[in-house]
Structure 1
């Protein structure tokens, strides 16, 4: 029997009992929609983590000061930790796996332009910070060497800060005030988006570190004027990150004169490694949830098998008549198998639309990242059809093995 003819007969059989057909498909609909929604959330979270990893820059290590528990550890006493610009210079010189470093200081300060003002993170650093973070300028220019060494009053604005202070007007060449100190805007950074901690990376201002230490942050603390809040170090390759971390640890322990019995007064963080671990955990949880949701497909498949067995019993005379007029056993088997697959396919398509709708609606309301790949959509419908083949095979085979004489006698 041609496939087209089998499809027409299958559709006619399903239309004859619309309510029963819909209730039979319900398990498939719930299963497919659950799988689609869970995979959409998991894929969206993974893509967001991948994007955040890219915003960090490749092979970047962050060195931050950490309170050091000293000889009076039992009394809960700690020694203050300090990182200095000279530590960054030493890493540049003595750690061959590191190709660039950038010391930085930062604080939340009020920034003013004419009648507009906002509180923003002001980061004092060097021009090497931006190649390390792979953060290009959308327009303007970076700090010059003279501006870095002489404390030039120049600033680079993040995209969000530029929007808040200048709106639609051109910021480059304009003047802003930070703690009453005037700064010329020399460039606007390209958009970075949010970080892994959910922080808006574009709501920021960069100034030369010498300017920050002399005119803004260092004025209140003459003793620690050369200290920095953190140091970024870029390794030459992904494979050299761990070795660079060990070499930096050894060098800084030596420079800080830390005894063997004492812990480090600094901490080295590999942001990309943390984000990748989060990526793996998100993927595992996503597929686990999708697997749990997939149980609904099995339940739906069992329901289809039961209904198809009932259908075989109800249509015994029809089966006997078909065989009597020349239908082969494989034609009968194919016909019932087509009905089971059609039930699952239609249920899969409805579940696909429902799952996509739920995923995007929930993502929009809750602010969750959602992504539906064509492969996952095809896979969901294909899985539903496979369930139809698997659970429809036994009823179809049973129908094909009916004796025509016995079947024609049935009521």
Structure 2
């Protein structure tokens, strides 16, 4: 096999960081280009599936105890990273048995250690020049690449530029997510008894899904950061369903949302407190669109022939609720690094043939999972 060139990676999220870390472990040079001027301060939790935890422990060369302490949303407080209280022990979570709740920011911090990351690189243009790709970054020097991996997510500028006909599929759901800091006393009294050692509390009222998640539980009595989700299928002529809203309009919250959540005050705590009318207006709330996409295999292989690969949400995005975005991006990264180590870059399009069936299944199952999550037959209130 010929010596491999430097691999350039667009995007410093979980997928890009994992890919760079895997390549580094294999002695393959990689450089990450991230549009943010400094590490993003992601302060929320994500659920990692058992296979993902197993892969991360190998990639990081880290023991279970250290990983849990550094990455679990409740790790600083001696917690076990359990999603639901009945889901077992910390060892269960990290050895392939149950999901594990990780702090996104701390996980990315662990992954980026010792990596070559170029911050503040906002991609302006990409074009082919002979056997190379020319990357133009705003107010930065041009970069020439013979092999580029795009991990920049569901809003990938590369995909939009090179595959303009590939459009996101907007699903008919109304979803809002808010975040709040809960003081120690309130959490102990109202929230902790219901969580029972877990980190996610989920229930329903009719077709409305209500979820409260712990994002970060610090040491001692510093309080707890939570997020909450209010979600239901879009009803006929639903004014809260805005499938054509612009990205920057995610924080524009209609009064109709507050009117709907006011009906939750008849419920018990902690739902009642999380959706309290006075408190909720002071929170940072975002209107989420449930969307997915799967780029046709022929289009992906055509780009691969030009030395460009799309992985993670750039190639196959599932909806935020019911999807496995972070898990899938990490799996893509691990598999791609192994493919490159084994086969080089000559026929890297074969990587897609290996993964594509799984991507199709993930998108299909995520849509089915959304339906099940909002099923009236599962209502518990």
TM-score (structure 1 length as normaliser): 0.22
Instruction: Report the structure, 1 or 2, having the larger strand content.
Output: 2
Q: Which has the higher contact order (CA 8 A, sep 6+)?
A: 1
Instruction: Report the structure, 1 or 2, having the larger helix content.
Output: 1
TM-score (structure 2 length as normaliser): 0.23
